[in-house]
Amino acid sequence: MKQIYKTLGALAALALLTPSAFAAEAPKNIIMIIGDGMGPAYTSAYRYYMDNPATSQVESTVFDQLLVGMSSTYSSGTQEHHTKKTYVTDSAASATALSTGVKTYNQAVALDVNDKPLLTLMEYAKSIGKTTGLVVTSQINHATPASFVAHNTYRYNYDDIADSYFDNRVNGNFVADLMFGGGQKYFIRDDRNIVKQFVKAGYQYFDSFDQLSKFDRLPALGLFASSGLGYTFDSPVKYRLLKMVKKATKLLGNPDKGYFLLVEGSMIDWCGHDNDIACAMHEVDGLAKTVEYLKDYVDKRDDTLLVMTADHETGGLSIGAQGVYQWKKDVIKQVKHSMTSIISFLLEGQDPAKLWQEHIGIEIDDKGLAQIVAAQKTAIKAIDESPKEDAEKLKAARTNIRVKLITQVSDVLARLTLTGWTSINHTGADVQVFAHGQSKALFNGHQDNTDIAKKLFKLMGRE
């Protein structure tokens, strides 16, 4: 990867030497928000989920207020065929499009189809003297944030990507001045302690969410979980994304040349993969509260642009299913925890009826209970028959078993709430584009996801 860093450094250096003058209307600060997996049905569902039943009309949400357009999300190809266009993107390819303005193949991180590094928005921002930051609810080296900071042929090379957060420099400077999210196990390893290196380089570091208030300067690194932060639904700490973003905007302050801040509501996508509508609504709510804060933040300034979109849609969500003209949002609101929270207990052999009552909390019919009991028995039997002598095969087998089990459990919830899903993966649906503040009109209408990055580059002075 060293050659990639050298090549990128040269590109960034060129950008620094020959910057275009900012347009008169160009914003000083740019806040880019990505709702991972948040297709249009998610924001529609959230509107109905939050609807006040005491009123005759359905109230609008912050997403309705900021909506300006739509975006296509297709990628250039797959790992096997880099230029064989596919209409269904993965998070790395879509994030690369949003961070560089260039289409690439699924699972590639800020590389083109020939595996050449692409200059990212955050790298360019750093090259022209802006302060930079990222705040996510996944691990900070997950596909989306990685595509703004690192370069790799495979998004799951988490250790290598973590290394590049320290090794990849722009004119000798780290790409991100602020990093909040999860990922401890990737940055503190037996072979390398990257956190220790960042601290030695001057970063303030805390590893517990209750220490967030202790951050009082930049550069700042906060890794608040081993991997991702987990679902808001199951956490005692509510509105984690909002709290991290509030701290980030305070730390970023008002630098002379402005800042670029990336924010991701990462777990919306994870709920979508689980086909867990209650989980998804809680994650979208967490993002909505964050956007409400940022909208107010932008309203108080005349130098900041907020742009938000999704990298793709996950799950093929539909509001209403089974041929019934209804969606039971009140039933969804009764759910106490995510589907994921009961899977480990089911695999331990605990009683499904008791678990459903304690963790889900809505009435289940005999058909649904029988479905979960049968799925539990099948899963436990499959684990017992898994290849114990091969750790990698065992891990893969358990992952496959978990997916099948959670699909069955989530199917029961979907049936009881009249929620539809077409996939446990991504779909090719267009996603929404939202904007607020200075230059927001540039993002009106339909565009490709690469156009969003191209417009942001232009606003920062890059031709």
Catalytic residue positions, numbered = 91
Q: Are 171 and 9 in contact (CB under 8 A)?
A: yes
3-state secondary structure of 181: strand
- Residue among 217, 212, 216 nearest 131 (CA): 217
Q: Which residues of 217-237 are buried (b: 16+ CB within 10 A; e: fewer)?
A: ebbbbbbbbebbbbbbbebee
Q: Name residues whose C-beta falls within 8 Å of residue 190's C-beta, 6 or more positions apart in sequence.
A: none
Joined tokens for residue 461: 């002075």
Q: Are 79 and 71 in contact (CB under 8 A)?
A: no
3-state secondary structure of 219: coil
The whole-angstrom distance between residue 154's C-alpha and the CA centroid of its chain comes to 17
- Residue among 242, 240, 418 nearest 325 (CA): 418
Strand 204-206 and strand 220-223: the pairing is parallel
Amino acid at 271: C
Q: For the chain, how are helix, strand and coil distributed in percent, rounded to 5?
A: 45, 15, 35
Q: Which helix (H) or strand (E) holds 354?
A: helix 352-355
d(CA 180, CA 365): 43
Residue labelled with tokens 């999704």: 310
d(CA 357, CA 351): 10
**Cα separation values, 309 from 96, 229, 367, 430, Å:** 14, 21, 39, 10
**Cα separation values, 50 from 55, 59, 231, Å:** 12, 8, 19
d(CA 441, CA 13): 31
Joined tokens for residue 247: 């701290």
